Amino acid sequence: MQTVFLGNYSNNEINLVTFDNQMNIDSRYKTRIQRSNPSYMCINNEILYSVSEIHDKIANSGYILAYKITNNKLKFLNEMLSYGNDPCYVIFNELFNILFVANYTGGSFSAFEINEDGSIRKNIYKKHYGNESRVHQIQFSNDLKKVYMVDLGLNRIIEYEINCNNSDLDLVEISNICFLNDEKPRHLVLDNSNNLYVITEKSCEIYKIKHNKDKKLEILEKSSILPNGVEKKSNYTGCAIKIDDQKEYIYVSIRGHNSISVFSIKNRLELIQNISCEGQCPRDIGLSKDEKNLICANQLTDNISIFAINNGILTFKNKYNIKTPTCICFK
């Protein structure tokens, strides 16, 4: 049985779907929550953390919420301000027991210390990059000792070393890399060698970035995420990127073109497939725990589509109606 939580733009609801071994829906649940627009989530053990992607004019901030998962139900633990408007990404660092949140229109990111029961204890770090900044993702190195901040607005990625002593957190900039104004880096993943693979929103490209001999970020290669012969249109935008556990294949979604591209990265970036996402606006994609299936969240057509995976190649299986799905979060 596979359990999936689905983020969305809704009035205070999180969807939970369970699938059988063939990825047919076994059951569905809806949980009423304290805040609207739970657009992105992450899970650490039995704790689910969700952003509330809102612009609270009074607090001048969005929210981050913690829930305990018990028998496929969510029990509210607590909430805190995200210390920035429209939080769009949340990720947990198990090494330091810290939760990081990216605030999109807030142009910032924040870090929170976590209690033993999984609830959010307090804010221990926040950094604002200016009104033009649009922090879209935070990602960690494989050893969890470094953090990468992806800023779509300022067209850059900043690499920090994490220094944490009890409740004192300090981030020391190690390196950064800038992109052209018409590219817009959105999300990234890492391979076993800590090479970065970055998807750009506006230019629909994937970059492979390495650390050079001076340990600075340096572009190694790049490729279009569109299939050969397809002209880039203004409404085509790169969106989600995921990598398999063996670090052999990368999957990216393309809005407007409404497709998923698959890259082999065994030797170099090689586009091996492009397939319809079976909907519109593939906002997120997720790999099942056994990596035999991929789920795509098609926001504008209110559906999720299921694909089987065989040696990296996707085969469409089925799709189901789900209201405005924006995030795929496997438990």
Measured over the CA atoms of residue 209, residue 153, residue 201 and residue 305, the dihedral's sign is positive
Domain assignment of residue 8, yes or no? no
Tell me the per-residue pLDDT of 258-316, one tens digit each, with 9 for 90 and over: 999 999 999 899 999 999 999 999 999 999 999 999 999 999 999 999 999 999 999 99
CA distance 186 to 188: 7
Q: Which domain holds residue 115?
A: 47-224
pLDDT band, very low/low/confident/very high, at 77 (cuts 50, 70, 90): very high
Tell me the per-residue pLDDT of 141-197, one tens digit each, with 9 for 90 and over: 999 999 999 999 999 999 999 999 877 899 999 999 999 888 999 999 999 999 999
> CATH number of the domain that 286 lies in?
2.120.10.30
Same-domain status, 174 and 258: no
* 303 CB-side CA count, 13 A: 12
DSSP 322: -
Same-domain status, 142 and 65: yes
Q: What is the pLDDT of residue 165?
A: 83
Domain assignment of residue 27, yes or no? no
Q: What is the pLDDT of residue 21?
A: 84
pLDDT at 28 over 90: no
Per DSSP (E only), the strands in 166-204 are 168-178, 185-190, 196-200
Average pLDDT, the chain: 95
Q: What is the pLDDT of residue 50?
A: 97
